[in-house]
Amino acid sequence: MELRYRTPSGMSCLYLPRCAFPRSGRDAWRKKKQVETILTLLCSRLKPGDTVVDCGCGRGTLTTALAVSSPSCDVLGFDIKEFETWTELERYVESVGLDNLEFEVNDLHETAKYGLPDDPDVIVGLHLCGTLTDRLLKLAVNSDAHFVLVVPCCYGRASPRVIVEELGVDEGIERVREVLKRAESSVEYQLEVCRMRGKFLEEHGYQVHVGVAFPEEISGRRVFLMGIT
C-alpha cells in the first residue's frame, strides 16, 4: 500500500513504505484514511518550526506522514514500547532528504506528569485507549501546546467517573451518563465524552472543537477533540 500526500509546503508527492501499515489490506486502507483525515485537520494549523509530538504512535504511520508532509516541523513519535518499523521509517524520511523524524520509547503517564525535555508546540494522538487521552490533554496543558488533537478509543476503559478523577471536570457528566445507558459505543456517547473532556481544555484557555472525524467504515472510534489557543 502506498500513501500519497501533497504537502502544504509544495513538495510534490511522497509515499510511505509498506511497513507503515498493518498487514491486512482492509486495515491498511482504514489506517491510510484515518491518517489522511488527521493530516487534513492538522496541517493548516502547523507553524514553521513547530515541534509536533504523536503520543502512543504505535508503528508510526501518522508520525511519518506528519514528518513528510510538514518538512519545516520537527516530529517526535513515542510509545510505551518500541516498534520494529521505527528504524525503517526514520531511514525512509532521511532518504527523501529530511531530518525531522524521531521515535522514542516513553510512557504517556509519566510525560503527562513530568513533561518532555523540550515542550512541544503541537500534540496529537490517534486512537488513544482509555485514560491515555486524558493524560495527553494534561501533557498539552502542562507544555503550553498551542494545538492539540486527539481521537480517543476504548471508551469503556475510561468511565465518566474516571474522567472526572483524571481531569477534575464534571460539567456534562449527567448527559454522558444518560447517553451511556443507551449505547456505550455510539457516536453520540463519544461526542458527549469528548465535550466533557473538552471542558478541561477550555478551563485552560483553549478553544475547543469536537466532531466526527471518520465514517463508520474507517473506524468505530470516530470522534475527535481539538483544542487551539
Ligand X SMILES: C[S@@+](CC[C@H](N)C(=O)[O-])C[C@H]1O[C@@H](n2cnc3c(N)ncnc32)[C@H](O)[C@@H]1O
User: Would you tell me which residues interact with ligand X (CB under 6 A)?
Assistant: 56-58, 61, 79-81, 107-109, 126-127, 129, 132, 153
Closest separation between CB of residue 84 and ligand X, Å?
13
- Residue 56 beta carbon to ligand X: minimum distance, rounded to whole angstroms: 3
In whole angstroms, the minimum distance from the beta carbon of 184 to ligand X comes to: 18
Q: Which cell numbers in the block locate residue 85?
A: 518499523
Burial (CB < 10 A; 0-12, 13-18, 19+), residue 129, is middle
Question: By C-beta, is 136 or 201 nearer to ligand X?
Answer: 136
Asked if 147 and 122 count as a contact pair (C-beta separation under 8 A), the reply is yes
**Helical ranges in 70-159 per DSSP H:** 85-95, 108-114, 132-143
Picking from 167, 163, 153, 174, the residue whose alpha carbon sits closest to that of residue 200 is 167
Q: Which residue has the cell 514500547?
A: 81
Q: Which residue has the cell 453520540?
A: 188
Beta strand extents in the chain (DSSP E only): 5-6, 13-14, 51-55, 74-79, 101-105, 122-129, 147-153, 207-212, 223-228
Q: How many CA atoms lie within 13 A of 126 on its CB side?
A: 27
Min CB(109)–ligand X separation in Å: 5
Q: Report the residue number, 51 or 64, with the smaller CB distance to ligand X.
A: 64
Residue with smaller CB distance to ligand X, 137 or 172: 137
Our CB check for ligand X shows the closer of 141 and 153 to be 153
Give min distance, CB of 220 to ligand X, in A.
Answer: 12
The smaller minimum CB distance to ligand X, of residues 126 and 191, is found at: 126
CB of 43 to ligand X, least distance (A): 17
Nearer to ligand X by C-beta: 158 or 172?
A: 158
- Work out how close the CB of 106 gets to ligand X at its nearest, in angstroms, rounded to a whole number: 6
Q: Which is nearer to ligand X, 64 or 172 (CB)?
A: 64
